[in-house]
Amino acid sequence: MNRKKVLKNTLITGLVFLAVGGWLLHIRTHPPLMDEDNLVPFISGMVSIFILPLLFWFRSTISYAYVINGFLVILGTITMSHFSIVHFNGPLSLAGILFNTTLPDIALLWGKFVVGKALFDLELLRSDQDTIPAGRYFRYPNTGWWLVHLVMLSVVYALGHILWK
């Protein structure tokens, strides 16, 4: 087994640990049988634990894994932000935002995104001298592409919430 393979195994293990942690935390605080809204993290967690590691494992499906992982993180960010906004009971201060919202959970979730990105980038890596093509920040598969999708999904989600009563 070469070093790249070892690194890939380590990252996939990290991804599974993060997914299991998030999934169990959700089951404890938002049991899926109590409310159908809770099915969203329940199903997302199942996908992250059982399907994503397999998709990341094979070179032919790693693009799907990268995209699905990223969109699950974005959906988690949007829904947890929504949850925090609805249930926020002040004070509106830095400490209030840091400790009375789901911001810490969202930060952990983005850890999962970064692990997925590392797995994807690792697969494309030919040597440690590889350079990054310039001027493509907003194009797939770069970070700017995710930023655009985070903003646009937030807008569509908010419109669905506001307009569709």
Partner 1 sequence: MYRFMLFKPGWWILHLIAIAFVFWLGHAIGF
Contacts with partner 1 by CB under 8 A lie at 37, 40, 75, 79, 82-83, 86-87, 136, 139-141, 153, 156-162, 164-165
Which lies closer to partner 1 via its Cβ, residue 42 or residue 157? 157
What is the residue whose two structure tokens read 């997914």?
19
Q: Are the beta carbons of 143 and 114 closer than 8 angstroms?
A: no
Q: Six-digit token pair at 142?
A: 């770069």
- Rounded to a whole number of angstroms, the minimum distance from the CB of residue 76 to partner 1 is 12
Which lies closer to partner 1 via its Cβ, residue 53 or residue 61? 61
- Rounded to a whole number of angstroms, the minimum distance from the CB of residue 78 to partner 1 is 8
Which lies closer to partner 1 via its Cβ, residue 53 or residue 63? 63
- Rounded to a whole number of angstroms, the minimum distance from the CB of residue 6 to partner 1 is 26
Which lies closer to partner 1 via its Cβ, residue 32 or residue 82? 82
- Rounded to a whole number of angstroms, the minimum distance from the CB of residue 90 to partner 1 is 17
Under DSSP, the state recorded for 30 is S
Using alpha carbons, select from 153, 163, 122, 150 the residue that is nearest to residue 9: 122
Instruction: Quickly list DSSP for 37-86.
Output: GGHHHHHHHHIIIIIHHHHHHSGGGHHHHHHHHHHHHHHHHHHHHHHHHH
